[in-house]
Amino acid sequence: MEERLHERRSVERRVGFIKWGRRLGVVAGIGAALWLVLMSPFLEFDPADVEASGFGTVVDEAAVEAILETHDGTALAMLNTSHVESQIGELVGVSAVQVERVWPTGLRVAITPSEPVAAIPAAEGFALVTETGEQVNASDDAPTDLPVVDVPVGEDNERILSGVLGVLERTPADLRGRIENVQAETEDSIHFVLRDGPRVEWGSVDQTPLKAEVLQTLLDSDAAEGATVIDVSAPTLPTVVKD
C-alpha cells in the first residue's frame, strides 16, 4: 500500500511539474511576444518607412515629415495614429487625413487636400482660397490656372463671396480652369469672363451643376462662335448674344 501511495504521489508530482512547466512556458511566450511588440527595435516606427500621398499643390510635405519625425523610435503598436492624424490635420491645406500602421515599422498616410479654387486680390499679391474661403497659399501674380475674384469686401458682403466660391466649387474643374475672373455686386448677380471666351452671366449659386452643363454644351456647339455674352442665369432658357 505504501509503495502504491508513494508511486501515486510521484505521478502527481510529475503531472504538477508538467502543468507548471506549461504555464511558465505560456507566460514566457507572452512575455517574449510583448517584448517583441512593445520593446523590440525591430518593430519601432521608422519615419523612412512611410507611404504618404495626397499632398496636392498646397500641403507642405516637409511639415508632414517633421511631425512624423517626432514619433521616431516609438513602438509601432503603441503609436497613437489618431493623434498623428490630428497633428497633420492642423496643417494648412489639409482637409482630411487617414493614418494606418504598415507592419513591421511603417505608416500609410493618405491626405485629402483643400485645393484653392480662386485667387483674391490682397494687400500684396493674391490670396489663394478654398471653397470655404480658407487661405491655403499666396501668389505675387494672378495665377493662370485660377479665376480671380473681384467682389465687395467687408462683413456685410460675406454672402457674396460665399456665393461666388460656391459656384466655383460646384463647377467642373475643366470648366473652372477656363474662368479668368469672377465679379459680383450681389449674390444673385455673379458673372465671369472665360479665358479667350465670352462673358458669362451666371446669376446665383442655385442650379450651378445644371448651369455648368448648359454652358459647356453651348461652348461645344456652333452657338458660341462669335458670342460676346452667354446667359445661363435661367438654365432652361439660356441666351447667347453676338456682335
Low-confidence ranges of the chain (pLDDT < 70): 1-42
Task: Tell me the pLDDT tens digit for each residue of 196-210.
Answer: 889 999 999 999 999
Any residues with CB less than 8 A from the CB of 68 and at least 6 apart, and which? 47, 50, 84, 107, 109
CATH of domain 42-113: 3.10.20.310
Task: Output the pLDDT for position 180.
Answer: 93
The DSSP code for 206 is T
Any residues with CB less than 8 A from the CB of 218 and at least 6 apart, and which? 224, 230, 232, 238, 240
CATH of domain 144-242: 3.40.50.11690
Beta bridge mates, 75: 44
Rg for the chain, CA atoms, rounded: 32
Task: Output the pLDDT for position 41.
Answer: 58
Task: Output the pLDDT for position 103.
Answer: 86
Task: Tell me the pLDDT tens digit for each residue of 144-170.
Answer: 889 999 888 777 778 899 999 999 989
Note the pTM of the prediction, 2 decimals.
0.71
Please name the helix (run of DSSP H) or strand (run of DSSP E) that holds residue 119, with its range, or none.
strand 118-121
Any residues with CB less than 8 A from the CB of 103 and at least 6 apart, and which? 43, 76
Task: Output the pLDDT for position 104.
Answer: 86
